[in-house]
Structure formats: structure tokens, C-alpha cells
Structure 1
């Protein structure tokens, strides 16, 4: 419950604020082009603190780290609602990003340590709720709150959810201690945090600034250099910030190759689709958000289907079918941009969500089945770094293609959607390398309780 609530807030906050930016600009007397710091501050802080999340969870315990991050995110949300200047709002958004960067990786680590391998799919039915609903609900709720109340409520909506999750977590959340990390890897933290933040900043702003601008090339090249230097440092460090050797696990490595192109394509579609509805079909922001929402229902449907089909058809088949199905649906969306059929858009988005959900649920579960409990923090850190990078790459690719091929022209959307469909097809091909046999062996071995970390009761766990 704590993980779902916290993850829901963190993910929705990446989309709900976008709708409120024009109203914020009017209140502060700032042009829309000058409001980028509101999202950039959040994004950079998120990127910096994802790599350190695993170390903090191991060093201070997952319970203390998760509740502290939840408290920070909730308090920062309240501060954002009280901001009276752009500078204050940006600073408070940075605090939000710090909490958000810790919430998801640490929460995922706790879930993996709490449930044996054979039970994780059942837990994932609920854990997928934020991933499915939050990105689509954000623009809808943001538009409604701004129209009926004010932009302040975009941040105030987090307070009751955060407060209830925090109180519940204080009373009921157990601790899942990991291996203690005696020394903080400062060079690894600087290389990972600065590199990831710079790359995400460059990719996110590339469609608007242009790839040839120094605002894109500078951070992209600098961030790439940092991340390249990170690899040899972490491989030889005695106490690495990010244990890159976890990638040697063949199943974890393969599932990341499946999730990376799918995540890029999915976020690219969610970025491009509302623009098409508004520029070509005349939808307003609220109705374009409502037209996107069937995707969330499709992902929720998939989260219920996967546990029932997992043992019958195997996770590899679910991934292959999900990737191929998503590719076909995105091709259909491309055709609908040339010959619009508004009534066909809703079922298409539902089927896209179902297809992507089949792949996400199967791949994320398979990613960790052969990872020892002591290495889950390292694996979740890498997974969340990959997820943020994939989303930024998808948005950058979709936005760049649409802009370079004619702005609002329908053929620009056509080419962009077909390119995103190709990414899903690549994911489906990578999924053919997944071994159902290895997953089944891990499931059989998970019957031994000694393989899993035992939680510490809340009364004995360290508090805030």
C-alpha cells in the first residue's frame, strides 16, 4: 500500500504539472519559455538521487529511507503550493525530485524482498497501478484542477495521499535490511548522478532546443563522458555506488533489452498522441487526456491477465505477443493520423495499454527471478535508471521526428508513429532470447524460505 501510494504520486507528478504551467506563468508574470526550470529542477534531482537510492536503503534500512523520502516528497508538495515566485517553486520542485528519486527504487526493493519469487506476480497486480494509471490521469486531473480551482491544487492533491501513506507506513511497514555498505562511493555518485541528470536534461529538451544547440550538445556530450567513465570506476571500486556486475545475470540483462525500446516507444506515443489530437482533430487539453486514458485501463487489464497466463503459456510468449501487439497498434495509430476515425482511437489506446502491460508485467517480473535478495537494491537502481533514460529517449525521438518532418503535418506523425512501432517490434525480437526454463527453475527454488531476507517487525525497525 505504501509503495503503490508513493509511486503513484511520484509518477503522476511528472505529467500533472505540465498542464498547470500556463497558469503558473500568468501568476508569476513569466513567459511559458521561462518555466522550464519547474520541470528541469524536478527531473535533475530525480536523476541524481536514483543512483544513490540503493546505497541509502542498504545503509539506513529500507523502512527509514522510504518513509523519509515519502515525508520529503509530501512536505515539498505543500511548499510548492505556497510558492510565491518562480525561484521558490523551482527550489521546492528540486526537493520533490529528491524524494521522488528515492521512492520508486527503494519501494521496489522492499516489494522484491517481501515476496518470494513465485508470489511476485500477484503483488505486481497492485504494484502496476501507478505505472498504468498515473501518466494518463495526470493531464486529466491537472486540467480539471486548474480549470475548477487553481494551479496550487496540482500540488495540494499530494498531501492527503502522502500523509495517509506516511502514517500507515509508520505503524505497519516492516524493514528489509540489506548488506551494509561501509563507505560512500563519492566518485561513483558524482559520475552517475551528474551523468544521468545531464543526459536526461539534454534528451528532454532536445525537441524544443534542437539537437545542434549547445543547450543540447553540451550536456549530452558531458553526461555521456561521465557515464562512460562510470563503468570502469564502478567495476573496480571496492564498494561501488552501482553494482554494474548485476548485469552479468543473463536474464536480467535480456529483460532490460526488452524493456528499454518498449519504454521509449510507449512514452513517445504518450507524448505524441495528445499533440496529434489537439493539432489535427481540435481536441482541448482535457479531452485529449480523456482520449488517452483507455491506455491505463488496458494496462490494468493486462496486470490481471498475466498471473493467470504466466504458467500456461510462459513469460517469453507474453513478452513476444505484447511487443508485437503494441507494434501493430501503433501502426494502426499511424494510419489513423492519415485517415482519422475518432471512435477507433479509444479501443486502439486500450489495446495498446493491454499489449504494453503484457510485456511490462512479464519482463519486470522475469528481471528479478534470478537476482539474489541481497542484490535487489542494485538491480532496482539500474532498472529505474534505464526506465528514466528510456522515457526521455522516446520523448526526444518522437518530438524530433514530428518537428523535423513538418511540425503539425499528419505525415510527420505518421513517420514518428511507425518509428515507435519499430522499437516495439525490436523488443519483441529481444524477448525471444528469454529462457522460460530458467524462470521455472527459479520459481521452484523459491520454495526455500532461506533464500529470502526476513523482514524486521515495525516495532524493532528504525523509525524516522
Structure 2
């Protein structure tokens, strides 16, 4: 543990262990940030009635949030190195909480969009900085135990958003989909101010302005295009221009960041074999998972006649499945190995999505609930195993770069999955049929197969070597010996 973590217990009389403090703040903050990507969707009709606009005109409410998140994810590593994890995390949480309150007071679409952009800035920083704190607070051998907490936002928040949002809109008003963030944000902020440890960086070099413009602008353009593609069509100039332009900017980002002396994101982190291979599997699985979560509730309503609340409840068992998987991975990881768990999770997800696409119309309702639970278990096996393995051979000094890259790919994967699913199902034009949704789900099953095949390249041997190296360093530290900085495994 870093010196900063060791000071957590004696500043201002703190008695909360550093690991507990980091877990509480990270889980609470990340939960509301992730939930805000889905909870607002069900409030759009109510917003439209209040503002006198149709749903298409309100898309900026979500697009502004997602694009702002994408722009500020790349800068999170630099801010962490410059100001430390504690100050960066608490500032991001404060910004997100204040912006949530402002969103609830918005009286026009322009104001609401602006406040959502501020929310996105805070949300874009929370996930990578929080993950950096978790990786530095927990040694390699204890990270699997921490996964059961880390998985809570990823598992529950996207599924809970539509259910909670629908209930709040029906029983109160759309303002409450933003106000619900305030108690969580305020409590997490007060708790963090008293207990959160600091993991100071080595000091940030001169800010990489060109790297920020290229990475942030490229991510924003690509994410904007992917978000709007189902509505406007992939052949539209409004989609092609940002896709091509954003793709060029991201390509230039890679060239620049590999050549500059002080890169904002050290992309050489992908030379680490474990990090690279796990990310290649997590990317298609993330796309498939978000695509299914987008398609399945609409399929239940269009094809099977469910109402919105019932379809949301029928989707929710996947969250329970992911939480179950986080417990299973902690028990099975050492005996089975991450590669087998990831391959099994990808294969299971593909089979279950295939079943949902082909048999949902004639299957008993209880079977659908069970299928979503098993889908969550399968996806959770791949996610939990992959995220743990990704950082086993990443040194403490490079965790900020690694978490930045991981969160960038996660945002793109989610946007691409939803865009592909929406395009295949024809939901942009509002004319999706049961057959269209089945085609979309079948495609998501195919994408899950890709994740399964890519997981075959993950090396269990490198994971074991990483555990041994970390244990040796811990033993040296306990004996008062000088501990050299552990380097990432050779590519």
C-alpha cells in the first residue's frame, strides 16, 4: 500500500481503514454515474411534455452527458498524477452532485443540456480515478475479494435505472431522476472528506494539450455518431463526418502519444500481454451486453406485449446474476484460472442470448427471468475475471494510464453495442418489429462468440507469475528490504 494510504487512519482522527473508505466512495459514486446513463431515458416523454418538444429533440440530454464523459476520461490520469487521487475524486464527485441538483431545476432544454454536460465531466472522471484508487489500495492477492463490491455499480446500476426512473416519474415527476443522486452524492462526499486516503502521483509533466484535443475530440465525435446513428442512419452526413473525423483524430492520438516525451496517456501500457488480451475480450463482451440490455426490454414490449415497468423488472435478474458471478470468481479463480472463466462466460452469454432470440416468444415467463439471471452470471464471469487479470502485471505507477484506457474502451464498446443493436432492430425510425429485435439479439450472440474466442489468448501462466511477484514484494516490504518498482510483464 502506498504511503498515502497508510496516513488514512491518523489524519483528522480517521479510523476507517483505507480499503473500506475507497470501496464505499468508489461504489457509491460510480453507481450514480452509471445509473445516470439509463435512468433519464424513461423521463424523456415527461420532459417533452414539460418543454413542449418531441423525444427526438431531447436527445441532447443524453448525448451531452455521454460526450462529456468521453472527453474527460482521457485527462483523468494526468489529473490524478498532478493533484492526487483524493482531491481529484472528491472534486469530481462534488461537480457531479451539484450538476445533478442543477438538472432538477432546469426550466429549458438548453439549461438541462448544459447541466448534463457538467454531470458528464464529473462522471467521466469518477470511474477511472475510483478504479485507480481501488488498484492502489488493494494488493494483487486481495483484488478478487474487492471485485464483489466493484461489480455492484456495473451490474445493478444499468438495470436499476429504467425501473427506478419509471417509478419516480410515475409517482412524482421527472425532476426526481436527478434529485435521487443528491443524498448518495452528499453522503459519499462527506464520508470521503473524512476518510478517503490519498495516493499521490509522481507529479505530472507539462499538460499534453494536443493529446487532450485529439483524444477528447476523437472520442466525443465517435461517441456522438454512435449515439445518433440509429436515429439518423449510418449513411447520413451527420453521422459519417463525425465517425470519419473522430476515427482520424483517434489514429493521430496513437501516433502523437507514442512519440511525445510527456504523453497524456501512456499507450505503451497495451504492450503488457495480460492487459492487452483481456481488453480485446472485454471490448466485444461490453458491446454485446449493452446491446442486449438495449434490445431486450423493447423486444418484450413489442413482441410479447409487456408494459414498460414489467419489461424492466424482467430484465433486472441479470444484475443479480452478475453479483453472483463476482462471488463465484473469487472462489474459482485460483483453481480454474481466468482464461477458462472468461471463455466459459463468453460461451454461456452467446448461448443464452441465442435462446432469448429464438425461443422467447413461446417460453414460459419464469424461463425468461432465469435466462436473464444466467446471462448476468455468464457476463459477470468474463468481466470479473478479465478486469482482475488485466491489472495483475501492471505496476502501481501505471495504473492511472491502464484505468484510463480501460474506461475509454468501455465507453466506445457500450456506444457501439447500442448503436449496432438499434440499427439492426430499426428502432431509430420507431418501426422495430419482433423479427427485427430477434435479428439484433442474434447479432449480439455472435459478438459474444467473438469475446469467447479472444479470451482464449489470455495467459493463466502470466497471472500466476504476477501473483508470485506481488507476494515476493510484499514479503520484502514486511522485512524492511528495498522493494524495486514492479514492471509490467514483457509483451
- Pairwise TM-score range, normalised by the shorter structure: over 0.9
State how far apart, in whole Å, the 2-side matches of 1:35 and 1:424 are.
32
**Secondary structure in structure 1 of the residue aligned to 2:38:** helix
The structural deviation recorded for 1:411 is 2.5
8 Å CA contact 1:338, 1:410 repeated in 2: no
Q: Is the 8 A contact 2:77 2:401 kept in 1?
A: yes
1:178 to 187, 192, 201: 201
Q: Which residue of 1 aligns with 2:69?
A: 46
1:273 alignment partner, one of 285, 289, 296: 296
Deviation of 1:338 after TM superposition, in Å, equals 4.9
Distance 1:319 1:222, change over 3 A: same
Structure 2: distance between partners of 1:184 and 1:315: 37
2:347 to 316, 320, 324: 324
Matched residue, 1:142: 165
1:374 CA displacement: 0.2
TM-score normalised over the length of structure 2: 0.90
User: 2 CA distance for matches of 1:90 and 1:413?
Assistant: 30
Deviation at 1:180, TM superposition (A): 1.3
The answer on 1:120 being equivalent to 2:143 is yes
1:75-130 Cα deviation digits (max 9, x unpaired): 00001011111111111001000000000000000000111011001011101100
Pair 1:308-2:350 in alignment: no
In structure 2, the residue matched to 1:421 is 445
1:343-402 deviations in Å (ceiling 9; x for gaps): 321000000000000000000000000000000000000000000000011111111111
TM-score, structure 1 as length reference: 0.96
Distance in 1 (CA, whole Å) between partners of 2:430 and 2:346 is 28
Shifted more, 370-379 versus 178-187: the winner is: 178-187
Question: Equivalent residue for 1:85?
Answer: 108
Question: 2:304 touches 2:361 (CA, 8 Å); kept in 1?
Answer: no
Report how far residue 445 of structure 1 moved. Answer: 1.4
- Aligned CA distance change for structure 1 residues 55 and 343 (closer, same or farther; 3 Å): same
Quote the residue 1:433 is aligned against.
457
Which blocks of at least 5 consecutive residues in structure 1 are unaligned? 454-464
Q: CA RMSD in A?
A: 1.5
Higher RCO structure, 1 or 2 (CA under 8 Å, sep 6+): 1
SS of match in other structure, 2:200: coil
Match of 1:409 in 2: 433
Give the match for residue 61 of structure 1: 84
1:242 partner SS: coil
Match of 2:8 in 1: none
Render the CA deviation track for 1:184-228: whole Å, top value 9, x for unaligned: 000000000010010011011111110011111111111011101
CA distance in 1: counterparts of 2:417 and 2:104, whole angstroms: 30
Alpha-carbon offset, residue 410 of structure 1: 2.6
Take 1:411 and 1:31, find their aligned partners in 2: how far apart are those partners? 27
Distance 1:10 1:381 in 2: 16
Q: 1:268–1:376: structure 2 CA closer, same or farther, 3 Å change rule?
A: same
Distance in 1, Cα, partners of 2:457 & 2:242: 35
Cα separation, 2, equivalents of 1:352 and 1:374: 36
**Match of residue 9 from structure 2:** none
What's the counterpart of residue 13 of structure 2?
none
Alignment of 1:327-366 (within 5 A): 327-366=350-389
1:108 to 131, 142, 157: 131
CA distance in 1, matches of 2:435, 2:114: 41
1:382 corresponds in structure 2 to 405
SS at match of 1:238: coil
- Change over 3 Å in CA distance of 1:329–1:21 after alignment to 2: same
Instruction: Check the 8 A contact 1:113/1:373 in 2, yes or no.
Output: yes
In 1, distance between residues paired with 2:351 and 2:178? 37
| CA–CA separation in structure 1 for the residues paired with 2:434 and 2:48 | 30
What is the count of residue pairs matched by the alignment?
Answer: 453
Q: Using the alignment, how far apart are the partners of 1:105 and 1:92 within structure 2? A: 21
Asked if structure 1 preserves the Cα contact closer than 8 Å seen for 2:66 and 2:120, the reply is yes
Aligned counterparts of 2:295 and 2:69: Cα–Cα separation in 1: 23
Superposed displacement of residue 336, structure 1: 2.3
C-alpha separation in 2, matches of 1:358 and 1:43:
27
Contact (CA 8 Å) 1:203, 1:396: kept in 2 or not? yes
Choose from 442, 447, 454 the match for 2:466. Answer: 442
CA distance in 1: counterparts of 2:415 and 2:356, whole angstroms: 21
Task: Tell me if structure 2 keeps the 8 A contact 1:406–1:412.
Answer: no
Residues 215 and 337 (structure 1), Cα distance of their counterparts in 2 relative to 1, 3 Å cut = farther
- Paired position in structure 2 for 1:299: 322
Q: Which runs of 5+ in 2 are unaligned?
A: 1-23, 478-482, 486-491
Counterparts of 1:304 and 1:131, CA distance in 2: 14
Verify the 8 A CA contact 1:373 1:452 in the aligned structure 2.
Answer: no
Is 1:205–2:201 an aligned residue pair? Answer: no
8 Å CA contact 1:50, 1:101 repeated in 2 = yes
**Partner residue, 1:461:** none
Q: CA deviation at 1:452?
A: 9.8
Distance in 2 between residues matched to 1:407 and 1:421, nearest whole Å:
22
The Cα of 1:178 is off from its aligned counterpart by: 2.0
